[in-house]
Amino acid sequence: MSTKLLTIICTCLITLSGASASARNINVRGKVTQNGTGEPIYGVGIYNATTDKLIGSTNDEGRYTVSIDENGALKFRAMGNQEQTVDVGGQLSINISLIPEATTLDEVVVEAKSITNKLITEPTDIEVKGNYLHVKTHVKVPHKLFSSNVRMIVQPAIYNVTHNELFYMRPVVFDGYRYDITQRRMHDWNAGQDPLSQYVQIKHTGRYTDDVLTLHDSVYVKNPQDDFRCDVMSSLENYNRIIYADTFVIARGTINPMRFLSYSLSGSEVTDKEFFPSPEMQLRDTRGEMNLAFKVGRSEMDMSLGNNKSEMERLLNQLREIENNPDMAIKSFSISGTASPEGNYTYNQRLAGNRIQSAMDVILNGLSANTRQNIELSTEADVATWEDVATLLRNDGLHHEADAVDDIISRFPGNTVRQGRNIQALPFYESVIRNGYLPRLRNVSYRIVTQRYRYLTDEEIAELYRTNSSAMSRYEFWRLYSKADSTERESIILRALEVDPKFITGATDLAAIRINRGQPDVNLLENLLSTARHKVPDESRLNHGIALMSAGQYTKADSLLSLTPDTETYHKAKIYSAALNGRFHDVIEEISADSPFNEVLLLLTIKANDQAWEKARKLGTTAKEEYVKAIAANRLDLYMPAVTHLTNAFRLDPGLREIARVDGDVTDLLNDIDTPGDNNSDGAE
């Protein structure tokens, strides 16, 4: 077997792989054309010359993009053309012109009224089942084209026109009996070294007999709604050269009535309490305050004065409770002392400080040594101002007295001594200010900040969401969105997933919201389900399965939904997934009962065309119903009804023209669709 042929066929068999590891990979782009004509060449295999691995191929325009070591080399291979190798040398653009090999075929003879110099391939259809495209056809090999000392290779491939992607199918290799004998007699011949050996068929018919080869295979595609065609590349070689090469299209568009399958599936929020988040105690700060009274000019703590005793007992009881609670701890303790403004400012400030220390001594004596060691203590001494006196008066409705104080302050700004002398001369000073308001300014207040693990109330959760949602637990998010109205639920869950991306209950509930709004999100649960190490909610599989179905990923959806229980919540999704994955006979009864329109689609899919046409004629007159009538009529060669119904469909929904361009059931009608026809949709056969 020639090295050249083996090299060419490997193009069809080697899996795409990245360029070999090197110092730096670059993306190289370019165009491959035919030398002499400048025409672009489709399907040229582009290899990493170092590893001989296929890394790309050219599209319809002869263009390619590959990633390769900047110091590597590219090898270009195409049937019927000489192989070329080019050093990359850091170039980002490399255009190639391939030189054709000799294609003169001495054995080919053209006879009148018969084709003897090329393969004859039956037109076929690309049929869709789930995410698999199926092709089955026959190739006739004329005996005048073929001799006993040659090898014929027929390589079918599915080309995704939408995304410029090529998917090779199983090749057919047809060896003449002499070619086969010669191969086996070669020195050191080993069938295992021939990558085509598993596909070889030997010609056993007579030399004057035409042979028919069967092409039958399927390929997986991500989205069967894309535009596809089926190409066949063929070559004929003897022992040392290619003597014939050709590429032709055998099918355009796909046969896929199920693209119109109509169904409505509801997402489901998590109902199994096993997956509800558990309440979590949160560490939260609490604060408290008290006021202590002191005699004029005195700093000693007098428990008999005012509410000092009850206030101090309340504080000490609180401190002891904290010390005895394993879920609480004192974080900080601060005391501030204030003196009234009469008299010397420096003296008053020192007095305030002494009062603070007096209160602190009593408080600290009530704490354990360990607590005293671990808390943060702070003190602050201050002297009240006459402005504070005016504010208290005004707050109590004594506006006349407050105005008098404010007037003095404004006449002696910044001079507290003169302010005090003039205020003390006011007629109401003794009765109102000295006895009623100055005592209120002589106090010590504390501020204790404690940490405590506890469950938050709904009000606290709502406040935390507004102020610091990043500190919220799964339970708090779940409780918040479970009680929120529909307009707020989605934004709350989105924030929850930002804080905790592995919150599968929240993601599942959000998936249900979006499905029921008609906007399924195929990315929402993908990673969570693929990386889950523990049991996941059945609703997660249901919602993701529905999203996958909406994205055309039917095979993945079917696999996922097969893991869900066959209960009312999941059954409808399971039967429509089965239909979309080719198990038509299992579900045709249920789906037909669900919708006459869907029944026609299933009948068309299983090729029950007569039944499909009879039932299609009873459908309504919506755009899709007219379109499906056109398919059914065209299947039975009812040309005029087919054209009429398709024309009606386009008139009602011009967007259906885009589907028709990739629909193998009606593409043959498109050239004549604007021709006036019989408006009788049930025209004669």
Residue 622: predicted pLDDT:
96
Q: How would you list the strands of the sheet with 53-57, edge to edge?
A: 53-57, 45-48, 73-77, 84-87
Q: Which CB contacts under 8 angstroms, 24+ apart, belong to 597-606? A: 597/260, 597/262, 597/624, 597/625, 597/628, 598/261, 598/262, 598/263, 600/628, 600/632, 601/257, 601/258, 601/260, 601/261, 601/628, 602/258, 604/257, 604/628, 604/631, 604/632, 604/635, 604/665, 605/257, 605/258
Residue 108: predicted pLDDT:
36
Residue pair 642/669 in contact (Cβ under 8 Å)? The answer is yes
CATH number 2.60.40 is the correct assignment for the domain at 120-255: yes
Helix intervals (H) in 141-233? 177-185
Rounded distance, CA 664 to CA 364, Å? 89
Tell me, letter by letter, the H, E, C secondary structure of 481-548: HHHCCHHHHHHHHHHHHHHCCCCHHHHHHHHHHHHHCCCCCCCCCHHHHHCCCCCCCHHHHHHHHHHH
Spans in the chain with pLDDT lower than 50:
1-22, 102-115, 675-685
Residue pair 10/86 in contact (Cβ under 8 Å)? The answer is no
Strand partners, 25: 69
Q: Which two tokens stand for residue 388?
A: 């504070």
Strand residues in 35-62 grouped as ranges (E): 45-48, 53-57
Q: Which two tokens stand for residue 134?
A: 């199926």
H helix count then E strand count, the chain: 23, 22
Radius of gyration of the chain (CA): 43
Q: Which CB contacts under 8 angstroms, 24+ apart, belong to 567-570? A: 569/268, 569/538, 569/539, 569/542, 570/538, 570/542
Taking the alpha carbons at both ends of the chain, their separation in whole angstroms is 55
- Return the closest-CA partner of residue 669 out of 659, 679, 660, 680: 660
Domain with CATH 2.60.40.1120 in the chain: 9-98
Superfamily (CATH) of domain 282-454: OmpA-like domain (3.30.1330.60)
Stretch (H or E) spanning 86: strand 84-87
- Return the closest-CA partner of residue 72 out of 48, 96, 93: 48
Strand partners, 445: 291, 336
Reduced to 3 states, what is the DSSP secondary structure of residue 147? coil
At CA 263, angle to CA 262 and CA 268, rounded to 5? 160
Rounded distance, CA 267 to CA 256, Å? 26
Rounded distance, CA 204 to CA 225, Å? 42
User: What is the distance, to the nearest Å, from the Cα of residue 352 to the centroid of all Cα atoms in its chain?
Assistant: 64
Domain with CATH 3.30.1330.60 in the chain: 282-454
Rounded distance, CA 569 to CA 586, Å? 19
DSSP code of 33? E
CB neighbourhood size of 558 (10 A): 24
Buried b (16+ CB within 10 A) or exposed e, 140-174: ebbebbbbebbbbbbbbbbbbbeeebbbbbbbbbb
Contacts of 169 (CB under 8 A, 6+ apart): 135, 155, 156, 157, 158, 215, 217, 218, 219
CATH number 3.40.309.10 is the correct assignment for the domain at 9-98: no
Rounded distance, CA 393 to CA 432, Å? 9
